[in-house]
Structure 1
Amino acid sequence: MNKNILNTGVQEFILENINTDTMSVLLKKSLFTGVNQKELVEQLEAKKKCQQKLPTWFKTPNIYYPNKLNIEQTSSETTAQYKANLINGNSLIDITGGFGVDDYFFSQKFTEIYHCELNENLSKIAAYNYNILGVNNIICKAENGLNFSAKTTQNFDWIYIDPSRRNDSKEKVFLLSDCLPNVPENLDLLFNKSSNILIKTSPLLDFTIGINELKFVKEIHVIAIQNDVKELLWILEKGYINSINIKTINISKSSNEVFSFALNDEKEMVSDLSEPLVYLYEPNSAVLKSGAFKTVGNQYQLKKLHEHSHLYTSNELIHFPGRSFKIEQVVPYQKKEIQKLGCSKANITTRNFPETVANLRKKHKIKDGGDVYMFFTKNMNEKYIVLVCTKI
């Protein structure tokens, strides 16, 4: 951590040049004593990435930024706030502290937070920024969080873990046991220190794999922002053996779409199939990631077009966690039928369909955009169909 970066002149330069081409800054001779151009560019790039993702940090003067990779890997303020609303208590230990965004919001719900970060420089940056942000109940430890947990005599109300999703060879990984730290391997140690564990993972982690690798899973939360799944959250409670509850949320600027179900219910349900009716529904990405393909239809008393199409229909319009459409036409998937539609511009979606959107556009000469929505899918009779819709 180079404290010269915090000098007034340097901070003013960063603020005034936030939208400047960083390559032009990099190629200039050193502008400030004790700060090289590479360090200056790192601050500019990282601060710029915080503008939308971490507005509290971006708007606060004299924040010190790590390299942009740390910013890319950290939680957004939106998802961090969601996590902080899930748990509370007297004490929490974060064994993978990082830039410390999650702990900033946890600190508003806990009396005391331990932030453990193996990277000494990143630990110093987090501690400095907490002071700037006026947070005084977070204790930063520049050491391995698992080692600190093992040697401390203190127990905690909650343990928080955000395992690194790259192994030593820098390859992307999709198993918890391949992440750092190896959570499955250390569960006994962790449950010796707390009865409650919250784990953040990549949305790429498969539910079944995660459940098999962990134990005492009580809840899985699927968080999407603007229909883009960002995180999975796993709540583990020591000794919990009942059905796992799945909670999904799609956070948008106008409203939040929430849907919950018991994992066992999904396994036991049967979908009620139907030909397309008056309205069509497409679940949001959080619901789709959760695998609630039968439960969502049953909870909202909807019919499903096909067991594997994941599109739903009804005669009466309902409020649904996803997109809703009025079905204007249904035609068989045949070139002549599509030509008859006379549709040269449309938004195309495929569900349980053998061709890609790009191929369909090219084959049928349909440009992207407009007010028409076309769904290429399979119906309950195993026939490929096209639904022409207007969005509600």
Structure 2
Amino acid sequence: MYKNILNTGVQDFILNNLSADILSVSLKKSPFDAVSSSQLAQQLKGHQTLKSKVPSWYGKRNLILPPSLNLEQTSSEITARYKAGLVAGNTLMDLTGGLGVDAYFLSKNFAQVYHCEQDESLSRIAANNFVALGASHIQAIHANGLDVLKGFPEKPLDWVYADPSRRNAQREKVIRLEDYEPNILEHDELIRSSSRNFLLKTSPMLDISEGIRQLSNLREIHMVAVNNEMRELLWWLQPGSQAPVRHIAVNITADTTERFEFTEEELQEAGVATGMPENYLYEPNVALMKSGAFALIGQRYGLRKLHQHTHLYTSGVLLDFPGRRFRVEQVKPYKPGKLGVSKANISIRNFPETVARIRKRNKIADGGDRYLFFVRLVDDSLAVLFTSKA
């Protein structure tokens, strides 16, 4: 179906029209007898998606790109590179290969990688693209990954990786491990007996305590955010391991990677220090919030929480912090309709009203350089913190 896309003339057309209007291309008559306008449009749209999602693949000759849904569901280059920094060895098997973005970046640390994909078309596309990208040590296998693992002769593999589908038969999104496809929990013994290490990617919505309860021989949990948006949870399992579980919360930005690590023991022993607002306010990044290490954050950075259940922190002097920092300009008791502000960015923490209701009751438009935090303080009073970015 896709072989004609690899013709030299077609590839020249694609690479010379990477910024073309997709609708315009799809409506015009194709300049090629063997490749339709819709096929050309699909390839161009795919490259435009790659430009932001997998930029090192953008504009590469002889890539074949699948329909948009497959590209939307694949990992980004940023998160794939992060995963690649966690694993290394001789052999790795990707049980749920998809388009192969994860397999490609993971392969940089391995001599041989096996990419398993049940969808024949997607498997063939991945096989072509691995060659086009110079990754000939990745073997694309059109089969169920668990079936391949079961009959694989060269075990144990150094690593097995899986990114199970998080949609059920009705194409609805699911969160619980037991609802994933494949159900990794049902194949725990096979995976543990076939690999020295197992890296599992799950939805960022999965409850961490539930994952810890269900997954055995857990070594590390990585909570991965990009530009303060949660992207995925990564679970490193090592058969036979009795080492303390490490939690790593990371927020990757263009300039830096904010990283916060701790053990279960540190989490349990941390105490909560609370206090009234001081000169500066700190809002943890989303990965830190997902980690649940609310007491430990304050202890580690020498900060006080505004309330046991208000996950904002304060200090008298400005400190480095993995999240947003604000200068506190004023603290007022919350009195609806008497704030004297017409435009501001609004956040709520441990507060009984929604942002929408606050805006409506107080006639506050969104935007500007003022940030209002509606919070419950340590004395259980409701307050508004008027702040600006520090």
Instruction: State the TM-score, normalizing by the size of structure 2.
Output: 0.95
Q: Secondary structure at the match of 2:379?
A: coil
- CA distance 1:35–1:335, change in 2 (3 Å): same
- CA distance 1:248–1:328, change in 2 (3 Å): same
Q: Secondary structure at the match of 2:72?
A: helix
Tell whether 2:132 aligns with 1:105: no
Tell whether 2:282 aligns with 1:281: yes
1:378 is aligned to 376
Q: Deviations over 1:296-319 (max 9, x none)?
A: 111111110011110001112210
Give the conservation status (yes or no) of the 8 Å contact 2:337–2:361.
no
Q: How many residues align?
A: 389
Tell whether 2:332 aligns with 1:334: no
Paired with 2:124 and 2:337, the residues of 1 have a C-alpha distance of: 67
Superposed displacement of residue 124, structure 1: 1.3
Q: Secondary structure at the match of 1:195?
A: coil
Paired with 1:7 and 1:141, the residues of 2 have a C-alpha distance of: 25
Tell whether 2:255 aligns with 1:257: no
* Structure 1, 6-15 or 194-203: larger mean CA deviation: 6-15
Paired with 1:22 and 1:193, the residues of 2 have a C-alpha distance of: 45
1:25 is aligned to 25
2:75 is aligned to 75
Give the conservation status (yes or no) of the 8 Å contact 1:177–1:213.
no
Instruction: Supply the AA of the counterpart residue of 2:133.
Output: L
Superposed displacement of residue 74, structure 1: 1.0
1:360 is aligned to 358
Paired with 1:13 and 1:376, the residues of 2 have a C-alpha distance of: 55
- CA distance 1:384–1:124, change in 2 (3 Å): same
Paired with 2:227 and 2:153, the residues of 1 have a C-alpha distance of: 43
Paired with 1:18 and 1:106, the residues of 2 have a C-alpha distance of: 27
* Structure 1, 284-293 or 263-272: larger mean CA deviation: 263-272
Paired with 2:209 and 2:63, the residues of 1 have a C-alpha distance of: 41
State the Cα RMSD in Å.
Answer: 1.6
Q: Secondary structure at the match of 2:160?
A: strand
Superposed displacement of residue 389, structure 1: 1.0
Instruction: Supply the AA of the counterpart residue of 1:172.
Output: K
Q: Deviations over 1:8-65 (max 9, x none)?
A: 3322333344444433433444442222233223212222111111111113122111
Paired with 1:138 and 1:244, the residues of 2 have a C-alpha distance of: 31
Superposed displacement of residue 208, structure 1: 1.9
Paired with 1:25 and 1:362, the residues of 2 have a C-alpha distance of: 45
Return 5+ residue gaps in structure 2 as ranges: none
Give the conservation status (yes or no) of the 8 Å contact 1:331–1:337.
no
Paired with 2:50 and 2:228, the residues of 1 have a C-alpha distance of: 20
* Structure 1, 204-213 or 47-56: larger mean CA deviation: 204-213
Following superposition of structure 1 onto structure 2, how do residues 1-392 of structure 1 map, counting pairs within 5 Å?
1-155=1-155, 156-335=157-336, 337-339=338-340, 343-392=341-390
Superposed displacement of residue 352, structure 1: 1.2
Paired with 1:132 and 1:195, the residues of 2 have a C-alpha distance of: 30
Instruction: Supply the AA of the counterpart residue of 2:2.
Output: N
Q: Secondary structure at the match of 1:313?
A: strand
Q: Secondary structure at the match of 1:164?
A: coil
Paired with 2:246 and 2:347, the residues of 1 have a C-alpha distance of: 30
- CA distance 1:28–1:336, change in 2 (3 Å): closer
Paired with 1:390 and 1:28, the residues of 2 have a C-alpha distance of: 51
Paired with 1:59 and 1:264, the residues of 2 have a C-alpha distance of: 48
Paired with 2:19 and 2:347, the residues of 1 have a C-alpha distance of: 36
The share of aligned pairs that are identical, in percent, is 48
Paired with 1:215 and 1:234, the residues of 2 have a C-alpha distance of: 10
Return 5+ residue gaps in structure 1 as ranges: none
- CA distance 1:28–1:59, change in 2 (3 Å): closer
Paired with 1:383 and 1:179, the residues of 2 have a C-alpha distance of: 43
Instruction: Supply the AA of the counterpart residue of 1:230.
Output: R
Paired with 2:337 and 2:61, the residues of 1 have a C-alpha distance of: 63
Paired with 2:21 and 2:137, the residues of 1 have a C-alpha distance of: 38
Q: Secondary structure at the match of 1:359?
A: helix
* Structure 1, 48-57 or 366-375: larger mean CA deviation: 366-375
Instruction: Supply the AA of the counterpart residue of 1:238.
Output: P
Q: Secondary structure at the match of 1:310?
A: strand
Superposed displacement of residue 212, structure 1: 2.3
Give the conservation status (yes or no) of the 8 Å contact 1:278–1:315.
yes
Paired with 2:220 and 2:43, the residues of 1 have a C-alpha distance of: 38
